[in-house]
Amino acid sequence: MMPVRTTSSLLPVITLLLTLLTECAGQSGLGWWDIWQYDGLQGPEYWGKSHSAWRLCSEGKQQSPIDLRAERLLYDPDLQRFEVEAPRGISGVIQNTGRRVVFSLDRSSPVVRIFGGPLSYRYNLHEIEIKFGDDDSHGSEHAVNGKPFPLEVQLTFYNERYTSYARAEESVQGLVKLGIFVLPWNETSRGLSKLTAIDVVKDIVYRGDEVNVTNFNVKQLFPRTFEYLTYEGSLTIPGCFETVTWIIMNKPLRISRYQLNSLRELVRDFQDDDSFRPFQNTFRPIQLLGRRAIRTNIAKRVEDPEFDKACPQSRRQIKYKVSTTP
C-alpha cells in the first residue's frame, strides 16, 4: 500500500520552491521584496513563509482587509469629521506595475494632507491605488456583510512626523489608508474619471507602462458624506505591517461600465513577453477581525421596540447598512 502524501510532507517542497524563486529573482536584478503575487506560490498564502521580514502576513493579529459586519460596528459619538487639505490641482504618474494600478505624486507636487476624525496626527498623501476584479462579484479588498464591491480606491497617507513613507510604514501610527468602494453606473465620478479615463488606461495596458496625470483634484475623489468606519489594521501587501489606521467611507463612487471594462483589459506582463496574463483580482483575501473594534460616526438608528423597552437608555446602534446609491 502506497503511503498517503500529507500536507506536512509538502512543506519542504514549497520551501524549496520559494527559495529557488528568491534566488532567480536575485539573478534577474530583483530583490526578495519584489517576489510576491496575488496567486500561485507567490500568492498571499505564502507571503509570510517567503521571508522573515514578512512574518506578520501569516502571524499578525491585526491584519487587513476585513469583512465589515454590521453587527460589529460600534457607534463612537466622539468621532468627528476628518479634514483634507489639498490644492485644486496636483500632478503625478499612474503606472501598471504588473501587480498594482497606482498613482504616485510628483515630488514637486504640493502636499495633500488628511487630519482630524480618528487621527491624532497629520498625514501626507503617498499614493492612490485602484483595486478591481475580473467581474462584478469581487474586486474590492474590504467586504460589507460578506459582500465585496467590484472596485475599491485606496488612498495611502504617511505620518508627517517621519521623513519618508519607508520610515512611516514600519512605525506606530505611521500610515492611514482611506478606502472608497466603487459601483458600476451610467457615468464616472469626477475625481475617479481623471484616473480611469480611456485615454489614461490605454497607455498603461502592459507592465511598466505609465502616463502623466496633471491638474488632478484629489478632493473630488471623496464621496459627499462625512460618514465613515474606522479600525486598526495593516498593509494588504508584504510585509503586512500593522501600522495602519483604516478609514472606509460610507458612500460609494461611480464608474461607467465602459471604463470598468477597460481596466479589466490590462495585463500584468511586459509588452514584449511571449504571453499575457490578465491584470485582475489584485486583492488580498479577507483576514480575521479578532477582538478589534470597528468604530463609526454613522448615527442613523434603526428602531427596535423590544430592545428600546428592555434598554431605554442605551445608545447602542442596532443595525447598520452601507449606502448602495452613489
CATH number of the domain to which 122 belongs: 3.10.200.10
pLDDT at site 280: 79
Tell me the HSE value of 306 on the side-chain side, using a 13 A CA sphere.
Answer: 0
Q: Which residues contact 291 (CB under 8 A, 6 or more apart)?
A: none
pLDDT, greater one: 47 or 325:
47
Q: 92 is in which domain, residue-wise?
A: 61-263
Question: How many structural domains does the chain have?
Answer: 1
Would residue 28 count as lying in a domain? no
- Asked if residue 325 has pLDDT above 80, the reply is no
Identify the band that residue 74 occupies on the pLDDT scale cut at 50, 70 and 90. very high
Per-residue confidence (pLDDT) for residue 51, from 0 to 100: 87
Report the chain's mean pLDDT, rounded to a whole number: 87
Interval 123-133: pLDDT, tens: 999 999 999 99
Query: Does 98 fall in a domain?
Result: yes
Give the cell for residue 299.
448615527
Is 293 strand, coil or helix?
coil
Catalytic residue list: 162
91 domain residue, yes or no = yes
Residue 23 inside a domain? The answer is: no
Among the listed residues 54, 36, 45, 39, the one whose alpha carbon sits nearest the alpha carbon of residue 234:
54
Q: Does residue 149 lie within any of the structural domains?
A: yes
C-alpha 194/C-alpha 28 separation (Å) is 35
* Vertex 128: Cα angle to 107 and 49 (nearest 5): 105
Q: Is residue 11 in a domain?
A: no
Residue 12 is predicted with a pLDDT of 47
Q: Residue 50 has what pLDDT?
A: 83
- The reply to whether 208 falls in a domain is yes
Q: What is the pLDDT of residue 41?
A: 85
